[in-house]
Structure 1
Amino acid sequence: MKILLTALNSKFIHSNLAVRYLKAYTRELPYNCVIREFTINDRREKILEEIIDEKPDIVAFSCYIWNIEYIKSLALLIKLVNPSIKILYGGPEVSYDSCNILKNMTGEYIIMGEGENTYYEFVEFQIKYFNKGKENIDSQFFLDLKEIKGLCFKWQGKMFLNEERELMDMNKIAFPYEEQDNLKNKIVYYEASRGCPFSCKYCLSSTIHKVRFLDIERVKREIKFLIDKNIALIKFVDRTFNCNPKFTLELWKFIIECDTQTTFHFEISADILTGEEIALLKESPKGRIQFEIGVQTTNENVLNNINRYVKFKDIKDKVKKIKANNNIKQHLDLIAGLPGEDFKSFKKSFNKVYSLQPEEIQMGFLKLLKGSPMREEAKKWKMVYSPYAPYEILRTNHITYDEITVLKKIEHMVDKYYNSGKFANIIKYFIFKFKQPFDFYYSLAMFFHDKGYFNRSISSVDYYKVFLEFQEEYFNESSMELKEIIKYDYLKFNKKKWLPDFLVREKSKGEEDYIKEKIQKENIKLSKKYHIEKFFIDVEKLLKSSVLEKKEGYVIFDIMENKEIYLFHNI
């Protein structure tokens, strides 16, 4: 018997943890288990062909809000090609109201919630009847199927929901990765705990309060295994990684002391970070650890509406302490459309978060997930949301659809310009011209909208050129200084030998030869690959003090070492 565990990831660099768990947990059972991973950007016909070529008896899909519609269509095509293939679904998107979901989908089975034990018993059951030659469609087959806890299934045109399965001992799950796994250029996901101590109404984790941890020594061994495979990024999927200070301290200490270039990503609650944890984090090599921190809103009334009892001043204090060390990337989340929050309130939240200057700010939009307490309160807040996955908010009694579409445009600006880090000095130049950061991103988004840039693809160079147009049309001015700032940001992240025609390159051969002589005489250490560029502003002063001063000088971009040297002013 062959089961094809199938994952449709959102991007090629992602890997699916769930299907690996299932295969590892049943590796002792006598069946052929194969994992295939695709992306939602792959052609449906090509995926279908590859699934059918595997000649599986059962195809199992890992279902989430971002791939469920694709999976529905793919399952239908599989059945059209080969009706004898059975379809099994699992994952958060099918774990609530499973009977109604299965009733309206092609396929026979759904595993609800935590899947390892249910899948193990399901495989045992299938092996038992498969080895008899074919399914015995009789009462015993049905009775055996009914005994599998955590399973929903179709039987003779009717839906059956088996008894709920209890949560498992975390230490009984199998390590999901193997020596032969090809994880090159992949984000590798790891789970040290399950559950969440908090009760945020928009989150499915709020329905499972018990937090379970793996044995810390086991975690260290498994992390070492992944480090030895030279993984670039290991992303912990724990909902609130730092909810157990003792566990957190020991693992962070282990990770900090490892000799590795691997980056570790944790989703944490910043307000509960302890002084001891912050002191330890100060010792972390730069780039070793990065944090995702859920702020959601700084409006305390709105936080109370979603059962999130956190004060922004506590988050602010911890985020600033971490930032002061300049060694840990921080990604802060906001959610638009929360109950009780209007456009003005969201604007205040954005400005407060922006003032912390985290490396990234994510503007998310409320999703009313199946089974979440927030969906049950939709009528109370007059929430209108899409009936299609990912069930995103359309409007509430506090924020209109038009306001949400404006926020989506602003979100695009923040992600492209702020989060990329490639326009930092250009942004600083403009931010000071506006009363608040939100006003800048709003104005830029409206400029993009009016120009039609959201409706067509613009080049990477045009994303820089836009600022010249923005300055001329919004402020009715142009300046050499802005062009020089754009030139610096452009050269820092793009090829150095070519400049777009809207930027000025003025450098004589004699000047460049003189600078090269200076480099040799003053024994300035550079790699073999570097680039010299002339500027008409003091770039060093701009970067260090945010002071814009006209002054001729040079920047040497050391390409291999990824550093700059500022010198030779007033040559």
Structure 2
Amino acid sequence: MKKLCLVQLPVPPPAALAATGNVPLAAGCLGVAARVHGLEKRLQIEVVEPAATDVLGDALLADRIAREEPELVGFSLYLWNSERSLHLAREVKRRSPHTRVLIGGPEVGPDNAFILQQTGADIAVTGEAEDTFARVMSALVEGRSADGIPGVALRGPLGFNAFAPQPAANFPLTDYPSPYLADLVPVDPERSTYVETVRGCRSHCTFCFYPRSSSVLRLLDVEKSAALIAALRDRGAREVVFLDPTFNHRPEFEPLLDALIRENAARALSFFAEIRAEGLTAQQARKLKQAGFDRLEIGLQSVNRETLKRVRRGGSPEKVAEAARMLHGEGIELLVDLIVGLPGDTPEDVLRGMDFLDANGLAGEAQVFPLSLLPGTAMRATAGPDGVAFDAAPPYRVRRTATFSEEALLGTLLAAEDRLGRRLDEWPRPHLVDGGLDGFAPRQEPSAQHVALWFRAADPFTRRGEILRAIDARLRLDPYATLDVVLCPDAPFPLDLLDLIRGRLRDAPESYLSRVLGHRGEDLQRRIAVVLRGPQPPDWIDAAREKAQVFRDQSAGDALREPEELGAALPGARITGPVTAEDFSALARRAEGESVVFADEALELQWTRRVLGFSDAR
């Protein structure tokens, strides 16, 4: 019997102990499709567990996938995992040369040369893949070629051939049961549980991926949707996230809310979904709260009506404000999206959007982010004529438009941060707990997905050759792992060393994670930290902080002398030694969350949960 191994890699978190939230739903759906089409008797199906995909570094994860030399491995590609997935594909094939690799997911399509030009995969599948995947698996199990199957491209000597023409997906959602109920994806009360009751979207927003699938809605009816929620609840689900493109625009929306109210009468579940302001009524807002929706996402996107028309979004800011008032009145928290860089918008439009959010009490709930031109979107197809330049690699950020220069894009994002009084992007939090890897060890070994490589030396500069060789060894083993390079000196050292290290890290393979903060001149994947063990000249410390994050080893009591200055006028604090509950609470109240780290892993985990807000930290 042939073996199929399905892999879905997580969004890499900004902090080592923050949970990824990874649920391999797409991989599970493919496994269900293979079963439904009768392949289970000829194909052993495994979905690689998040305990492996979320924790193991590249080398160990490749070993895990290849250990039984599966005939087939499938990777679900998203913008945050595509490059690491293809690296793992190559590493699996190096360990198991007969293994054939399939790729699919939102990243795979005829307009994304960035993916198709890379090596590692043998077969590419585009679009909704359940039916297509089953046909491909049937062909491969029977020893036939998958060439000509709609939505499939095969790699030849010169690369992938063209995708065979593919009609819009039209299979009923009832054809395939939930992978949770098929025991391919476990229900984990510590993670969100994802549910689709609708596929297809009647909106035509040009920046959105959903219209690529179909404008025809296919849905689970109210009875089946309610039964699915009840079954997930009984299996231990606690938070259910609806993946429906526009939750409140599905047919029979209010009857579904009534059913959810009945199934969640004990309030064992909390729900989350994305809605649109248009058409939302006060009665629906009330029922959303009664059903268990404590948070919802709603798209403002722009306050320029002409821009909203141009990107085929429609709607109006006033409708968003009205919907927000109704939802707030019911006690529902919101995430309100505002996009920077939409064609037609200007920096002034974005700042007017900030004023609008503030005036309507939404500034604290705003998600402000730069436009990404995703594969398969209409906006990507018309980028050239529209005068939009964007990065060809994930996250496909807009670089400039006819009304936004590169400088204006960054300046507008920073101005939005000033208005909101908070950073919009994730902060690259170094992992400085005791027990990190010894950078001066004779040999570097495969390790975890996020590691800290410590170099403790009186003068690290005198050992720069050893430091660079250790970094090179680490990057060869796990090139897509998150890496903190930590220098722990006894005395000031020439800061040229930080430039040497930064240059070496920049030579490593790029990825979504290394690029996502590139507009800020930061690298979320490979970071440098300096940990001071004693007093150092203030001028030297200030100069070091221009090039790296700097922390000082100190007790909680010492940190509480000037907690408001930590990370500002003073270096951050790495807390060593015992910490009382009172001191922990005082630091949480008075210090900036990212300016305090802990040597003790249990305290770092507690801080990650309570102060940084990663409630599902591991």
State whether TM-score is above 0.5. yes
Instruction: State the Cα distance separating 1:451 from its structure 2 match.
Output: 12
Which has the higher mean CA deviation after the structures are superposed, 25-34 or 248-257?
248-257
Q: Which residue of 1 aligns with 2:80?
A: 66
Question: Pick from 328, 335, 346: which aligns with 1:331?
Answer: 335
Task: Name the structure 1 match of 2:133.
Answer: 119
Cα 1:469–1:122 change in 2 (3 A) is closer
State how far apart, in whole Å, the 2-side matches of 1:501 and 1:329 are.
Answer: 27
Shift of 1:62: 0.1
Letter in 2 for 1:19: A
Residues 259-298 of structure 1 mapped to structure 2, 5 A cutoff: 259-281=266-288, 283-284=290-291, 288-298=293-303
Distance 2:178 2:77 in 1: 21
Give the C-alpha shift of residue 265 in structure 1.
Answer: 0.7
Between the aligned partners of 1:451 and 1:353, the Cα distance in structure 2 is 38
Equivalent AA in structure 2 for residue 266 of structure 1: A
- Against the structure 1 CA distance between its residues 305 and 26, is the aligned structure 2 distance closer, same or farther, given a 3 Å change threshold? same
Once the two structures are superposed, residues 36-66 of structure 1 have per-residue CA deviations (whole angstroms, 9 ceiling, x without a partner) of 1455774211211111114211110000111
Distance 1:467 1:236, change over 3 A: same
What is the identity, as a one-letter code, of the residue corresponding to 1:151?
A: V
* Distance apart, 1:177 and its partner CA: 0.7
Which protein has the larger Cα radius of gyration, Structure 1 or Structure 2?
A: 1
For 2:228 and 2:299, how far apart are their aligned partners in 1?
27
Aligned CA distance change for structure 1 residues 50 and 124 (closer, same or farther; 3 Å)? same
Query: Number of aligned pairs?
Result: 437
Following the alignment from structure 1 to structure 2, what is the Cα–Cα distance between the partners of residues 152 and 110? 5
Q: Greater helix share, 1 or 2?
A: 1
Paired residue secondary structure (1:94): coil
Q: 2:90 aligns with which of 76, 94, 106?
A: 76
Query: Aligned pair 1:85/2:99, yes or no?
Result: yes
CA contact (8 A) 1:171 1:215 kept: no
Structure 1 residue 103: Cα displacement: 4.9
The residue number in structure 2 matching 1:221 is: 227
8 Å CA contact retained: 1:99, 1:160: no
Aligned counterparts, 1:491-502, within 5 A: 495-497=581-583
Structure 1 stretch 194-203 or stretch 372-381: which is displaced more?
Answer: 372-381
1:236 equivalent in structure 2: 242
Query: Does the 8 Å contact 2:7/2:24 carry over to 1?
Result: no
CA positional deviation for 1:308:
1.3
Contact 1:99 1:161 in 2 (8 A): no
Contact persistence 1:102–1:108 (CA under 8 A): no
- 1:333-482 counterparts in 2 under 5 A? 333-358=337-362, 360-409=365-414, 414=420, 456=549, 465=564
> C-alpha displacement at 1:252, in angstroms?
1.8
Per-residue CA deviation, residues 411-451 of structure 1 (Å, 9 max, x unaligned), is 6775957999xxxxxxxxxxxxxxxxxxxxxxxx9xxx999
Equivalent position amino acid for 2:239 in 1 = L
Match of residue 33, structure 1, among 45, 52, 65: 45
Identity of aligned residues (%): 22
Q: Aligned equivalents of 2:156 and 2:543: distance in 1? A: 56
**How far apart, CA to CA, are the structure 1 residues paired with 2:321 and 2:352?**
14
Flag structure 1 segments of 5+ consecutive residues without an equivalent. Answer: 130-140, 421-444, 471-493, 505-571
Q: 3-state SS of the aligned residue for 1:399?
A: coil
Deviation at 1:229, TM superposition (A): 2.4
Tell me the alpha carbon deviations over residues 347-382 of structure 1, each in whole angstroms, 9 at most, x when there is no partner: 110221233334621112111112211122323343
Shift of 1:273: 0.9
1:191 equivalenced with 2:196 (yes/no): yes
Task: Output the CA distance in 2 between the equivalents of 1:410 and 1:124.
Answer: 55
In the alignment, the residues of structure 1 paired with residue 189 and residue 178 of structure 2 have an alpha-carbon distance, to the nearest angstrom, of 18
Query: Equivalents in 2 of 1:498, 1:99: separation in Å?
Result: 50
Which amino acid is the alignment partner of residue 236 of structure 1? F
Write the distance in 2 (CA, Å) between the matches of 1:194 and 1:458: 48
SS in 2 for 1:294: strand
Distance 1:104 1:283, change over 3 A: closer
Secondary structure (helix, strand or coil) at the match of 1:293 reads: strand
Work out whether residues 63 and 91 of structure 1, in 8 Å CA contact, stay in contact via their aligned partners in 2. yes
- Could you say what secondary structure the match of 2:343 adopts? coil
**Structure 2 CA distance, aligned partners of 1:236 and 1:495?**
38
- The residue identity in structure 2 corresponding to 1:35 is V
Kindly indicate whether the alpha-carbon contact (under 8 Å) linking 2:238 and 2:268 is maintained by their aligned counterparts in 1. yes
2:312 is paired with a residue whose SS is: coil
Alignment-mate amino acid for residue 44 of structure 2 = N
Counterpart AA for 1:34: E
Work out the CA distance in 2 between the residues paired with 1:450 and 1:263. Answer: 48
DSSP-derived class of the 2:352 partner? helix
User: CA–CA distance in 2 between the matches of 1:264 and 1:502?
Assistant: 29
Cα distance in 2 for partners of 1:152, 1:418 equals 39
Q: Name the CA distance, whole Å, in 1 between partners of 2:334 and 2:589.
A: 33
How far 1:170 moved relative to its partner?
A: 2.0
Secondary structure at 1:340's aligned position in 2?
coil
Shift of 1:81: 2.4
Given that residues 40 and 70 in structure 1 are in contact (C-alpha distance below 8 angstroms), is that contact kept between their aligned partners in structure 2? no
1:450–1:276 Cα change, 3 Å: farther
Q: Identify if the C-alpha distance between structure 1 residues 249 and 502 changes in structure 2 by more than 3 Å, giving closer, same or farther.
A: closer
Aligned position for 1:3:
4
- Contact in 2 for aligned 1:227/1:260 (Cα 8 Å): no
Q: In the alignment, what sits opposite 2:109?
A: 95
Say if 1:284 and 1:235 are closer, same or farther in 2 by CA, change over 3 A. Answer: closer
Taking a change above 3 Å as real, the CA distance of residues 501 and 230 of structure 1, as seen in their structure-2 partners, is: closer
Greater length-normalized contact order (CA 8 Å, ≥ 6 residues apart): 2
Structure 1 residue identity aligned to 2:347:
F
Shift of 1:214: 1.2
Partner of 2:155: 154
Kindly state the Cα deviation for residue 105 of structure 1 after the two structures are TM-superposed.
Answer: 2.7
Quote the offset at 1:341 in angstroms: 1.5
The 8 Å contact of residues 240 and 268 in structure 1, kept in 2 or not, is answered as yes
- Please state how far the C-alpha of 1:409 moved relative to its aligned partner: 4.4
TM-score by length of 2: 0.64
Q: Quick one: which amino acid aligns to residue 371 of structure 1?
A: G
Contact 1:302/1:340 (CA < 8 Å) preserved in 2?
A: yes
- Residues 5 and 34 in structure 1, CA contact (< 8 A), matched pair in contact too: yes
1:292–1:331 CA contact under 8 A, matched in 2? yes
2:399 and 2:406 map into 1 onto residues whose CA distance is 5
Residue 52 of structure 1: which of 54, 58, 66 is its match? 66
Superposed CA offset, 1:316-351 (max 9, x none): 11111111122x121111111111222221011022
* Structure 2 alignment gaps of length 5 or more: 13-19, 427-519, 521-541, 570-579, 591-618
Counterpart-to-counterpart distance in 1, 2:355 and 2:93: 52
Aligned to 2:22: 14
SS of alignment partner, residue 258 of structure 2: helix
Q: How does 1:147-186 map to 2 (within 5 A)?
A: 147-155=148-156, 159-167=161-169, 168-178=171-181, 181-186=186-191
> Counterparts of 1:501 and 1:95 in 2: how far apart (Å)?
49
Change (3 A) 1:347 1:191: same
Query: Aligned AA for 1:456?
Result: Q
| Contact 2:544–2:550 (CA under 8 A) maintained in structure 1 | no
Q: CA shift at 1:220, angstroms?
A: 0.8
Classify 1:188/1:347 alpha carbon distance in 2 versus 1 (closer, same or farther; 3 Å): same
